[in-house]
Amino acid sequence: MNQYPLWKNIMVIVVIILGVWFALPNFYGEDPAVVIAKENGLAFSQLETSDIEEYLQEINSGYKSIKRQEKQILIRYDQVEEQLSGSDSMRAYMGRSATVALTFAPRTPNWISRFGLKPMSLGLDLRGGVHFKFQVDLDAAIEQRLNQYIADINKALIDKRIRRNIKKQGNVISIELSDPEDLSRARSLIREIDPLLVIETVPGKTSPGLQVEMTQDQLKQRRDFAIQQNILTMRNRVNELGVAEPIVQRQGLDRIVVQLPGVQDPTQAERILGATATLEFRMVCENESAFAAEAKGRAPIGCELFVDRVGNPVLLKKKTIVSGNQLIDASQTFSEGRPAVSIRLDNKGSKSMLETTKRNLNKPMAVLFIQQRQETKERNGRLVTSSVLEKEVINIATIRGVFSSQFQITGVSVVEARDLSILLRAGALAAPIFKVEERTIGPSLGQDNINRGFQAIVIGLAMVLLFMVFYYKGFGLIANFGLLINLTLVMALLSLLQASLTLPGIAGIVLTVGMAVDANVLIFERIREEIRIGNSPQASITAGYQKAFGTIADANITTLIAALVLFTFGTGPIKGFAITLTLGIITSMFTAIIASRAIVNIVYGQRTINKLRI
């Protein structure tokens, strides 16, 4: 007799129930929706929500429902066209006081949502959104590191009163020493800064000098660090934007791909992601004329010449009080009705600010905004792209009191205050990045992709179900039931893991449908063979499952290895295909070998069979 022990039957039932439970949110679908959030981050009042609802009724926008949740208002629609029209209307109504974003809101009932269950996460090609590809300036990352070495070496030599002349030529630092006897001391000091640096003695004009270079391993590590740090920073910035299910990953040697599902306005996203903005706090050179320095074309000793937002020249001291990397937190706020950024410094920065404000009461201090961007110009008939470093004084204020770790910056607009606070919270990029590709996928196109993908799965599934019933009779029905369980388990795992489902992922599910049936075909054909050689129906069923297991396992394991390789080395859509294929292989092994066997045991295992229809 073919019978499973009780615990195995219970296991199959529990797995199926859990699969249906976790997959349940996907069967309710989702609505096109618009999310409204205030620029200042405050929550909407009930009165404001009522005003928005009245406006929607006046313009007859065809909205389905409006709901206030946390600090946002969610407006649902029946159709994508109504959603797009509604978002345009809300942007015109709200103006610059709030951000209006497109999204899709699940229809999952509250009694299911309370358990934390969510539908599958949809990728950019299904959800709609913005795709960016950025190139990292790795040469700038190396140059930044070399400049840091120069500053450290220069300081160490000054402290030991060693006269020198330091120059940088490419990736080589050349140090000319006035006294040959300082050669060994200078070499030892450089070794203390970094023992891995390559140091060579070279002849100089008057005395031998030193040539310092980074090793190839150091250059590679610096480039990798720049990529990884930029990925981390960009992830932080995406989190600050509040985008759900973003993808930020490396592509190739020097590129980073960012996908923001649900975002339809790439302007703010590009401004935040690609910006290399930071701040420096410096004292103003009071006793010098900035206009005279501008006329001469050079600044006095100890000062640097900049311009403010109006274009007027400003002289600032070279010494930086606090820089952007000493900031712990930054938030958008208002000071006396004007937009401002509230700043909080770390321990080192607060000590420096405290000492500066104590010594410089009633003296002006400036905030210097530093940003690096890419500029393309035509030279000799060719377009040449280069990096441009912009430095602008955004605020000059008189120090009226002593402060250290917390203070505010004014002189910025509402949008600038919001963007600057996001940039400062997320951190600075380790190297400049430049956009090389941008694609925007509308929600209507995403919905069309979903419809086509669903149609492909339904047609493929229907054809397989009909074939199995026609060819394998009752056993075909059991295989079809196992196939439906398999698809349910795949949906459950995708929902549980919140792995993004993309168009290639749908292709992986379609492929899984065929592979799941393939295992059943091997088993059923083996049962037929056993019957042909004269075995009893019960013995044929046992032999069919046992003898086909090795072949099924080998085929699925080799496919699983290929899927894991695709996931490890692939990017973007390839990873999506590999994820669904891997999950499909795991679930098909369970449904074809264990679940279908349990059903066969229940149907045929409890009775004597003279003839098996298969």
List the CATH number of the domain containing 211. Answer: 3.30.70
Cα–Cα distances (Å) from 250 to 224, 242, 255, 256, 570, in that order, read 10, 21, 6, 5, 11
Mean local confidence (pLDDT), 160-164: 82
Confidence at 14, pLDDT banded by 50, 70, 90: very high
User: CA 368 → CA 151, 280, 394, 518, distances in Å?
Assistant: 21, 5, 6, 67
Rounded to whole angstroms, the Cα distance separating 405 from 340 reads 16
- The whole-angstrom separation of Cα 573 and Cα 561 is 18
**Quick check: is 463 in a domain?**
yes
Q: Which helix (H) or strand (E) holds 54?
A: helix 46-58
pLDDT digits 0-9 by tens, 220-232? 888 888 888 788 7
Asked if the structure places residue 260 within a domain, the reply is no
* DSSP 3-state of 287: coil
Lowest mean pLDDT among 202-211, 443-452, 599-608: 443-452
Q: Based on the domain organization, do 289 and 420 belong to the same domain?
A: yes
What is the per-residue pLDDT for 387? Answer: 63
- CA quadruple 20, 22, 25, 26: dihedral sign: negative
What's the chain's average pLDDT?
A: 81
| CB-CB contact of 576 with 497 (8 Å) | no
Q: Which residue has the higher pLDDT, 49 or 377?
A: 49
Q: How far apart are CA 529 and CA 385, in angstroms?
A: 70
| Domain at 449, CATH number | 1.20.1640.10
- 22 CB neighbour count, 10 Å cutoff: 21
The phi and psi torsions of 284 (rounded to 5 degrees) equal -85, 140
Q: How far apart are CA 558 and CA 288, in angstroms?
A: 76
For the purposes of burial, counting CB atoms within 10 Å of the CB of 438, is it exposed (0-12), middle (13-18) or buried (19 or more)?
Answer: middle
552 shares a domain with 452: yes
Q: Which residue has the tokens 């997320």?
A: 426
Mean pLDDT of 251-262: 82
- Residue 498: which pLDDT band, with cuts at 50, 70 and 90? confident
Residues 80 and 41 in one domain: yes
Nearest to 290 by CA among 265, 270, 307: 307
Same domain? For 282 and 328 the reply is: yes
Q: Say which residue, 473 or 419, is predicted with more confidence.
A: 473
In a domain, 549, yes or no: yes
pLDDT tens readout for residues 538-579: 888 888 888 888 888 888 888 889 888 888 877 667 777 888
What confidence score (pLDDT) does residue 159 get?
82
* Domain-located, residue 82: yes
Distance, CA of 603 to CA of 600 (rounded, Å): 5
CA atoms within 13 A on the CB side of 206: 9
Do 11 and 44 fall within a single domain?
Answer: no
Residues 593 and 453 in one domain: yes
Alpha carbons 71 and 68: distance in angstroms, whole number: 8
Helix or strand run (H / E) with residue 213: strand 209-213
Give the pLDDT of residue 605. 73
What's the whole-number mean pLDDT along residues 391-405?
80
Q: Tell me how far apart the alpha carbons of residues 45 and 128 are, in angstroms, rounded to a whole number.
A: 30
Q: What is the pLDDT of residues 24-80, one digit of tens each?
A: 998 888 888 888 877 666 788 888 888 888 888 888 878 888 888 877 888 898 887
402 and 418 share one domain: yes
**Same domain, yes or no: 524 and 495:** yes
Cα–Cα distance, 279 to 197 (Å, whole number): 31
Residue type, 91: R
Q: What are phi and psi of 475, to 5 degrees?
A: -65, -30
- Domain edge (last residue) among 184, 200, 219: 219
List of residues 6+ apart from 170 with CB closer than 8 A? none
Single out the residue in 219, 236, 267 at which a domain terminates: 219
pLDDT at 266: 62
Domain termination residue (choose one: 425, 451, 466): 425
Assign 3-class secondary structure to 118-176. CCCEECHHHHCEEEEEEEECHHHHHHHHHHHHHHHHHHHHHHCCCCEEEEEECCEEEEE
Domain shared by 595 and 463, yes or no: yes
Domain containing 520 equals 6-25+442-604
Q: Which two tokens stand for residue 429?
A: 């990029």
Asked, for residue 173, whether it belongs to a domain, the answer is: yes
Instruction: Please list, in sequence order, all residues whose beta carbon lies within 8 angstroms of the beta carbon of residue 314, skipping any fewer than 6 positions away.
Output: 284, 290, 305, 306, 307, 308, 366, 393, 396
Q: Which pLDDT does position 438 carry in this prediction?
A: 78
592 & 454 share domain:
yes
CA-CA-CA-CA torsion sign (137, 143, 148, 151): negative
Look at the chain and report how many structural domains it folds into.
Answer: 4
The CATH number of whichever domain residue 48 belongs to comes to 3.30.70.260
| Mean pLDDT of the 590-609 span | 82
Quick one: average pLDDT of 507-527? 82
pLDDT value, residue 18: 93
Please state which of the ranges 10-19, 230-239, 373-382 shows the lowest mean pLDDT. Answer: 373-382
Percent helix, strand and coil across the chain, each rounded to 5?
A: 50, 25, 20
CA distance 382 to 402: 54
Same domain, 453 and 406: no
- The C-alpha angle with vertex 374 and arms to 372 and 376, in degrees rounded to 5, equals 150
Query: Can you give the pLDDT at residue 349?
Result: 82
Q: Strand pairing partners for 441?
A: 129
Identify the pLDDT of residue 375: 61
For the chain, what percent of residues have pLDDT higher than 90?
4
Question: Within the chain, how many helices (H) and strands (E) appear?
Answer: 17, 23
pLDDT of residue 270: 67
Dist CA 64 CA 32 (whole Å): 10
Say yes or no to pLDDT of 265 above 60.
no
Map tokens 């980073």 to a residue: 256
- List, in sequence order, every residue forming a beta bridge with 308; answer none if it has no partner: 393
Give the model's pLDDT for residue 546: 86
